[in-house]
Structure 1
Amino acid sequence: MPNLRGRQDPYIGQSVESPYHRQRAIVVDDEYYARSELTYLLKQQHVEVVAEADNAVDAIRLIEQEQPDLVFLDVDMPAIDGFKMISMIDELNCNRVIFVTAHPQHAIRAFDANAVDYLMKPVVPERLQCAIEKAAQRRSNLNVLRADTTPPNAPPPPRSPERIPCEFAGTHYLLNPSDVIYAGTDTIGTVYIETTDGQTYHTDLTLRALEDQLPDMLRCHRQHLVRRDAIQSYRTDANYCGTLTLPTTTEVPISRRYMKQVKTCFQQ
């Protein structure tokens, strides 16, 4: 008999190594004990739980930050439930979602939402292992498909988020990317977003993440991004720097380093 290591086998008193020890997961559930129980079961499957969230806004932010292999998502959560949340993330992340709920009537909607699988509470370890295997298989199939259809050395396509998690006066919001006209940081690194109606929000996303995910945003300064079609005018000064104006009358500085691409934007 081969020497098997890892998960304990009750019949031979030894353990069985799981092939999923390198997978990383996020657990999303508004109930603490439900998260704790699932986290324990995942550790038994050698899946690393890199983060937990008790609401959809935090979950979306954590998914963006951690880029996990698996997202275990409760259906019944206050404010934004699991189905609303999955509609707010991109297709790649949808292929990481495994729904977890106590209500069997949600099963059809779960698969319509393109989730990997659907687990009933209380989660059975054997059923959990099947869901992990299914997720690994789907990920492998997607990797093969991308390899077959992507030209060699082609850059990855820009990812545009369905919503941008942010906060104002203690209330959390999910903004439409099309509403964002400006993003910038203050002296301590806090990132702020301004929308077309002139409202300002705080976000945990970095300027780099916003620039990578929002292709319409133009960097005009090390600390500032603006939406290209929202620039109403700009002016230069004697130091080859300048200032541009947005529809909300907000004025944003242009550094010498980025002046050329601001001018190019006006010429297009």
Structure 2
Amino acid sequence: MKTLNTLLVDDELSAIEGLKLRLERVDGIHIIDMVTSVDEAIECVKNDLPDLIFLDIQMPGKSGFDLLKQFQPEQHPAIVFVTAFHQYAVRAFEVEAVDYLLKPVRQARLNEAIERVRARRPDPLYKQQLLTASDALDGSPGAGSSSSSSYRVESEKLIITDGRNSGQFVPFNEIVWVDAAGDYMCIHTHNETYVMRARLKHLVENILPPEFVRIHKSTAVNIRYIKHIEALRNSEYSIELTNEKTLKVSRTYSASLKSHLFSAVEK
């Protein structure tokens, strides 16, 4: 049985301690950390990607969905939501096949959730399912920002709107990397992540400037923000960005990335 490296994220100390005690009764679970905010969780997963995250939805400052935006779809950990919002979360997560636990967590239900995690096969569409669930919760407590934002382009900026705000202005030169999950696109700057409906191919080929290069079928980076590149097996690479985020470069795109990097150095 593979040991599941597990992260607990909940702003309620009593809830996180109770979950820890129940998880200690389950074989094959190794708790790597317990944090009480999304910002702490983001720091935790930068260099130590867990296999499983137990994640609260409603937390001060940022919702649990803000953490989900940080992962490349192909490297997305399994997520078990922990929530008190039965009337909203259960309906949305059942439709999207996302597991959840209602507070207070029962041992039998926890064991069932872990069995489902072990049976789950890696799927790049998993992130899209989670973002769709976020859409289903839009406007409910703990929902966070809408994932169905639209955008337009003006003067080397993306202007992202969600129907409730006047718009977020995101200059191209502040975008560090972008990743896609189906029809959804996560736009990452050093400090924020924005979600909008778009296709990566169209964005890279028609909207963003040439310094944005594909490194995976679902990911592109701004090469100006690459700090370090390391060779892995099978002609794959790992890159570290200036915000300390580590991303995987697939074999298909490694030659193209190296070519762009050499061209940038020559200039």
Bigger Cα Rg:
1
TM-score (normalised: structure 1): 0.50
